[in-house]
Amino acid sequence: MASKKALVASSLSLCTASWLVSGQGQAVHAADDIRGMNPSEWEDERVAQAVLYQYLSPISSVAEGNLATKKESNPLTYKVKRGDTLYGIGKVYGVDYRKLAAFNRIKNPRLLQVGKVLKLPLKRKWVRVKEGETLESLAKTYKTSEKLLKKLNPGVAAAGSVYTGQVIAVPSPIKVKMPKMGRENGSKRKVLRHASAAAGASSFSWPVWGQITSRYGWRNGRMHNGIDIWNEKRTSNVIRAALGGRVIKAGYSNGYGNLVVVDHGNGWVTYYAHLSRITVSKGQVVGKGQSLGYMGQTGNATGVHLHFEVHRNGRPVNPLSVLP
């Protein structure tokens, strides 16, 4: 190990000398020479290449305490491509789509324009990798994903790993002021009137944040009238009303298991199935975003998830056609 460290030190010294005396071209030439120094001596040649890449990168050659800024002032941005949704973009960057909509003052998330540049409620924060830290541990520490860390750090993506002393960018959340959701402490008639007037394809919100494990359509020879949503919180997930309305069913219902059905007016009805626990009762008026129960595995379910259906005038429609 000592000989390897000596090799790194001498190699980096050679690069530094070349950089200062002869310019960037000579530094690259020196790097090429080093790559030819018996790579079998390295436990991981990719790490060696990453050391050279980061060492020659201006920001990683400065001590962390002397960086001009530890956190960038401008938020990250994303250019909308064909087929993008706020939910999908938010999932990639670990941002709730509702915060993404509020941050960009988007009233109708379904009307995203291709080419529009969205501001993400995230900033780059520069940190130095400590001894023993890995991509996995860094992702946990900064509550992000390894995929996003690689996206923010092309050098890390190329090497596939990090090394002690390396300066990398991590996402730092920006606080977003969210609009207030309707609450039951107001007039029940007012909530119902609001739900009835607003009910439409552009008004629904996601009942829970997570991964779609089964889509709407034919499945195993049978029609699947909704979508299945799951995430790692499992039965700790709170299931929320996709829109304000009146609960017309709250109880056990054969294959649906524990089921809540909410009538939103104007022919719109939503189903929330397989719940582990129900927290509302039949006839209760609920506001958009209000808790209905918890994700579960009751009824005909092979695993913990939410089965979510949207009906229009008595017929099921694809939930993804009305969700943001």
- Residues 250, 232: Cα–Cα separation, whole Å: 25
Q: How confident is the model at residue 308 (pLDDT cuts 50, 70, 90)?
A: very high
Reduced to 3 states (helix: H, G, I; strand: E, B; else coil), residue 172 is strand
Q: How confident is the model at residue 37 (pLDDT cuts 50, 70, 90)?
A: very low
Q: What is the pLDDT of residues 258-290, one digit of tens each?
A: 999 999 988 999 999 999 999 999 999 999 999
Range 266-302 burial, b when 16+ CB lie within 10 A, else e: eebbbbbbbbbebbbeeebbbbbbbebbbbbbbbebe
Answer for the pair 283, 247: CB distance below 8 angstroms, yes or no: yes
Q: What residues contact residue 158 under an 8 Å CB cut-off, 6+ apart?
A: 46, 49, 50, 53
What was the pLDDT predicted at 275? Answer: 95
**132-152: average pLDDT:** 92
pLDDT at 60 over 50: no
Q: How confident is the model at residue 321 (pLDDT cuts 50, 70, 90)?
A: confident
**Angle 252-306-143 from CA coordinates, rounded to 5°:** 140
- Residues 259, 46: Cα–Cα separation, whole Å: 52
- Residues 44, 25: Cα–Cα separation, whole Å: 26
- Residue 320 DSSP symbol: G
Pairwise pLDDT comparison (213 vs 63), residue with the higher score: 213
Answer for the pair 248, 261: CB distance below 8 angstroms, yes or no: yes
Lowest pLDDT segment from 19-23, 35-39, 57-61:
19-23
What was the pLDDT predicted at 77? Answer: 93
Q: What residues contact residue 87 under an 8 Å CB cut-off, 6+ apart?
A: 97, 206, 323, 324
Closest C-alpha to 240, from 272, 269, 267: 272
pLDDT at 208 over 80: yes
- Any idea how long the chain is? 324
What was the pLDDT predicted at 85? Answer: 78
